[in-house]
Chain A
Amino acid sequence: MFEAVAFYLFAFLTISMFYIAVTTSQALYAISSLAAGMIFISAFFFILGADFLGAIQIVVYSGAVMALYAFGMMFFDTTRDVKEKHGNKVIVIGLSIISAVLIVLIVGAPIVGSNIEALYPITEGAGNTQEVGMVLFTKYLVPFEVAAVMLLVAMISGIVLAGKKMDLSLTLMNEQEILKMREEDKTKKVLS
């Protein structure tokens, strides 16, 4: 009984949060309801007994949406409404419905077609976390490692892009040095 109540409650909450995220023209509302929706999704993992995935969902998405806030802070005045361009509404609505149906078909067809069963039944005496670890380091080891390498590449390229003047510290430089550096930057921009 509790499970049903919790499921319908969180289903309603999640859908309404994502609805707000899509329809509002206020950036803060959109990002906040996105974050709330992401966190409410974790409730489904908890209801299904996948505690570990639920907690990971909270940790990962709260951090990820936090980065979105940082971008929002940089690019907009988040207290003002964003003026959105609305093109042809019929085309927008039609295309979104078609893509939603397509996604449901793509994900749902194999499940209906070949009666997918759980290949890795629950090991007796192992907890949730251990289960994830076992599957991750046996069957899915290669995708796991590939993902790790991809993240490493992204991290290194991020550092290279952001770290152009990392050896300089504005706190340790005096006024003249800072001004001189700015002048040099200006001339460089003109030349390039």
Chain B
Amino acid sequence: METAYLIETVIKIVAILLIFSALAGIGTYFERKVLAFMQRRLGPVYVGPFGLLQVAADGIKLFTKEDIVPTNVVGRIFKIAPVITAATAFMAAAAIPFLPSFTLFGYEVHPIVADINIGILYILGIMGVGLYGPLLAGMASANKFSLLSAARGAAVFISYEVITGLSLLAPIMMVGSLSLIDFNEYQAGGITDWIVWSQPVAFILFWIAAFAETGRTPFHLIANDHEIIDGFGTEYSGMRWGLFFIGEYANMFFISFVLALIFLGGYGDGSFLGALGLLVKAAFFFFFFLWTRAAWPDVRPDQLMWLCWKVLMPIAVINILVTAIVMM
């Protein structure tokens, strides 16, 4: 029993690592293609059919590029920062059920690494730890722009943690559990049971906060494009920078799954169609990240703080109060 469990867990972990590292690469291809389509460009076309092998070319470049650690940086912290981003992104995936449980060769597989009964809290906590990556990278880089970007990153994440927490509290109160599987069971009855109908405000708030948590475009302040350079990643080269990239894209995929699982019914009753539905929903949320990037400019840091503390937080608190009153 114990050996079987051990082997199963290791296989799951390896599968998630491989699939989502690869998806991060393919995600960049989709991002370029989608952005190019929306901005009437072609995007990558030269390498392979439809530019599909661009991913491989980027991979070869990142892996073989010289790994430079500049003088004056705080060496160990500088080296460990990208690992923190990538590792925490994948650690958060441990509590996400990616598919309903299915039977393979007479052995029941649960596609979740650890069904701890506080899944959501764990995911949010670990994603919060993930922001140590940009912060440490910026602080250790001995570069003024990196330091500024680290400061912005710390401010954004500290504020938007509040929004994610508060917006999720209302659905958690309704379901009465913190496990994503329980969330899924609660909405298993079909489209009418989805939490998004009863908690639209929480859904929108969490969605907005997801952009800040993953550092995507309207809130892409940690790597401020207006400074022409890449914020906390300025001093990084090669695969160290690539790890930040993988972490960011993995986070986008995982938060898309979490959004679909919490608000849009997840995999429903667990049939094949339901599983397909979960993948489609997660893919839509991922696409929406790219769509927003093409459609919206970045907001200023002060506007971001204004939005967080003066608009979103009061709405989230009122939403919790209303939910509590209705439930009583």
Among candidates B72, B121, B161, residue contacting A63 with C-beta atoms closer than 8 Å: B161
A127 near B158: Cβ-Cβ < 8 Å:
no
* A contacts with B, residue count (CB < 8 A): 29
User: With A55-B122, A63-B161 given, is the CB distance from A28 to B142 under 8 Å?
Assistant: no
B154 near A58: Cβ-Cβ < 8 Å:
no
User: Which residues, 111 to 148 on B, are CB-close (under 8 Å) to A?
Assistant: 116-118, 121-122, 124-126, 128-129, 131-132, 135-136, 139-140, 142, 147
Provide the main secondary structure of the chain B interface.
helix
Proximity string of chain A (31-73) to chain B, C-beta cutoff 8 Å, 1 when within and 0 when not: 0100100010000001000011011101100110011011011
- Enumerate chain B residues within 8 angstroms of A52, measured Cβ to Cβ: 118, 121, 178
Among candidates B77, B128, B158, B302, residue contacting A67 with C-beta atoms closer than 8 Å: B158
A28 near B129: Cβ-Cβ < 8 Å:
no
A127 near B136: Cβ-Cβ < 8 Å:
no
User: With A59-B125, A59-B128, A69-B154 given, is the CB distance from A128 to B117 under 8 Å?
Assistant: yes
Proximity string of chain B (174-189) to chain A, C-beta cutoff 8 Å, 1 when within and 0 when not: 0001100000000000
Q: B76 an interface residue at 8 Å Cβ cutoff?
A: yes
A70 near B77: Cβ-Cβ < 8 Å:
no
B139 near A69: Cβ-Cβ < 8 Å:
yes
- Enumerate chain B residues within 8 angstroms of A127, measured Cβ to Cβ: 117, 177
State the CA gap A127–B179 with chains docked (Å). 11
Q: B13 an interface residue at 8 Å Cβ cutoff?
A: no
Provide the main secondary structure of the chain A interface.
helix
Q: B316 an interface residue at 8 Å Cβ cutoff?
A: no
Which of B126, B132, B140, B151 counts the most A-chain CB atoms under 10 A from its CB? B132
User: With A28-B77, A29-B77 given, is the CB distance from A62 to B129 under 8 Å?
Assistant: yes
A79 near B72: Cβ-Cβ < 8 Å:
yes
User: Which residues, 106 to 120 on A, are CB-close (under 8 Å) to B?
Assistant: none
Proximity string of chain B (135-174) to chain A, C-beta cutoff 8 Å, 1 when within and 0 when not: 1100110100001001100110110010000000000000
Proximity string of chain A (149-165) to chain B, C-beta cutoff 8 Å, 1 when within and 0 when not: 00000000000000000
State the CA gap A55–B119 with chains docked (Å). 9
- Enumerate chain B residues within 8 angstroms of A46, measured Cβ to Cβ: 116
User: Which residues, 257 to 305 on B, are CB-close (under 8 Å) to A?
Assistant: 300, 302
Instruction: Give the nearest-CB partner of B123 in chain A.
Output: A55
- Enumerate chain A residues within 8 angstroms of B117, measured Cβ to Cβ: 51, 127-129
Instruction: Give the nearest-CB partner of B140 in chain A.
Output: A28
- CB B213 to nearest CB in A, in angstroms, measures 13
Instruction: Give the nearest-CB partner of A60 in chain B.
Output: B125
State the CA gap A72–B302 with chains docked (Å). 22
A59 near B136: Cβ-Cβ < 8 Å:
no
Instruction: Give the nearest-CB partner of A65 in chain B.
Output: B132
- Enumerate chain B residues within 8 angstroms of A171, measured Cβ to Cβ: 300, 302
- Enumerate chain A residues within 8 angstroms of B155, measured Cβ to Cβ: 70
B129 near A58: Cβ-Cβ < 8 Å:
yes
State the CA gap A79–B75 with chains docked (Å). 10
State the CA gap A63–B124 with chains docked (Å). 12
- CB B119 to nearest CB in A, in angstroms, measures 9
- Enumerate chain B residues within 8 angstroms of A32, measured Cβ to Cβ: 77, 80, 132, 136
B154 near A39: Cβ-Cβ < 8 Å:
no
- CB B221 to nearest CB in A, in angstroms, measures 15
20 additional A-B residue pairs with CB within 8 Å, beyond A51-B117, A58-B126, A79-B73: A26-B74, A28-B74, A28-B77, A29-B74, A29-B77, A32-B80, A32-B136, A51-B116, A55-B118, A56-B125, A59-B128, A62-B129, A63-B161, A66-B154, A73-B139, A73-B151, A78-B74, A78-B139, A127-B117, A129-B177
Q: What are 21 A-B pairs with beta-carbon distances under 8 A?
A: A28-B77, A28-B140, A29-B77, A32-B136, A52-B118, A52-B178, A54-B118, A55-B121, A55-B125, A58-B129, A62-B125, A62-B128, A62-B132, A66-B131, A66-B132, A69-B154, A70-B151, A73-B139, A79-B74, A79-B142, A129-B118
> Which B residues contact A (CB, under 8 angstroms)?
72-74, 76-77, 80, 116-118, 121-122, 124-126, 128-129, 131-132, 135-136, 139-140, 142, 147, 150-151, 154-155, 157-158, 161, 177-178, 300, 302
Which 9 interchain pairs have the tightest Cβ spacing? A58-B125, A55-B121, A59-B125, A79-B142, A51-B118, A62-B129, A55-B122, A55-B118, A28-B74
